[in-house]
Structure 1
Amino acid sequence: MKKTLLFAFLILATISAEAQVTFKPGIRAGANFSQITNTDLDTKTDFYIGAFGALKLTRFYTLQPEINYSRQGGKGDISVYDSNTQEYNRKNVDVSLNYVSLSAMNKFTFSDQFNIHVGPTFDIITKSKNYNSTEVDMCIAAGVGYTLPMGLTIEARVKKGIIDVVDSYYTGNSYDNFNDYGTTTNLVFSLGVSYSFDVKGATK
């Protein structure tokens, strides 16, 4: 038993001695293809832009805090109830939900090029014109990345909210409810690029 513990300790000590902790700041940007679930709204195309700090703790694992500005929402024709005629009419609606997103992504690298990443996101709304919406959203994000030889990384990511974000919209004289199909949550598919910068002396 003592020999086993001693052997395990030596292995861990060797790994720790060879490990090199690095920190690289970076920027990221790309396109959002967002939806608001359980509504009649279609997919809306917009953009995101942000910055991150990649703290590489081991060869295979990097903790990557992020701050992003993300434009989301949905748009399309939805049914609006007219109380005068007591009929439903179709109305074109463009829901714009803009957030500052704080994320803690856990990145797992399997080669010098390929990685997967997953983590929680806390979104704070900055703009919601003419819509009743919650001030925050909690999400789970996951994605993949591929780094090109010049250091540019292509990223694809999906983000799913868990909070009921929108319950009504303004039609000009009153707030009307979305068709009640259930909880309305954010669903965002993102495609973009990121780039990290080398920082001298960022080693352990």
Structure 2
Amino acid sequence: MKNFTTTLVLVFFVSAGAFAQGVSGGVKAGLNLANQTFSGNGFTSSPSFLPGFHAGAYLTAMFSDHIGLQPELLYSGQGAKSGNEKYKLTYIAIPVLLRYNVNSVFSFHAGPQIGVLASAKYKVGSASVDYKDNFKSTDVSLAAGVGIDLPMKLNFNFRFIKGLSDINSTDDSDVKVKNYTLQLSVGYKLFGK
């Protein structure tokens, strides 16, 4: 799965660059406010947002003045907390977003995101247990947001990411668990217009 994902990302980056009018790229990092929804027969839970971070790289391939694609490769912290209990999940996230530039400053972006689970920990107070076997190895999500590009190569993005797939891999449970995340990023363009 990881080799397939790596190959797919490389092919996409190369083909997007070959057909694009303008290609730019850079690095980004920022705050995640992550949470999870739980649904099942009579199951109720009200977890709260778990702060985390994300960091990685992006490529923007514009096909016209307004339309382009923005694939990214991010290390992203997700999960949820309830009282002193925390579920801390980390993913290698690969969003592939359709980008619409309103003008040279403002943009909208939306598209699918695939997350490959890197780690999962269950924490109570200072105690921590590896919990990776309780979650599926991939998470399929939809992402949508807005961006601001400043002339000094800085950019800011606000994004909402909604998990579509049930990430609970526990066989004896009918509880469905889905991620969702609010993401605020600061980026720096390393090359391109």
| Same fold per superposition (TM over 0.5) | yes
Which of the residues 147, 151, 154 maps onto 1:152? 154
Q: Which moved more, 1:124-133 or 1:44-53?
A: 124-133
Deviation at 1:192, TM superposition (A): 1.5
Note if 1:41 corresponds to 2:33.
Answer: no
Preserved contact between residue 35 and residue 187 of structure 1 (Cα < 8 Å):
yes
Partner of 2:189: 196
Alignment of 1:1-204 (within 5 A): 21-38=21-38, 39-77=45-83, 92-129=84-121, 130-131=130-131, 132-166=134-168, 183-199=176-192
Deviation at 1:166, TM superposition (A): 3.2
Deviation at 1:45, TM superposition (A): 0.2
Aligned-pair RMSD on alpha carbons? 2.0
Offset from partner CA, 1:139-190 (integer Å, 9 cap, x none): 000000112231211110000011112366xxxxxxx96xx7x521001000
List alignment gaps of at least 5 residues for structure 2. 1-19, 39-44, 122-129
- The letter for the 2-side match of 1:64 is Q
Identity score, percent: 30
How many pairs does the alignment contain?
157
Q: TM-score, normalised by structure 1?
A: 0.71
Preserved contact between residue 26 and residue 191 of structure 2 (Cα < 8 Å):
no
- Rg comparison, structure with higher value: 1
Judged with a 3 Å threshold, the aligned counterparts in structure 2 of structure 1 residues 149 and 25 are, in CA distance, closer, same or farther, namely closer
Deviation at 1:56, TM superposition (A): 1.2
Q: Where do 4+ consecutive residues of structure 1 move more than 6 Å?
A: none
Q: TM-score, normalised by structure 2?
A: 0.75
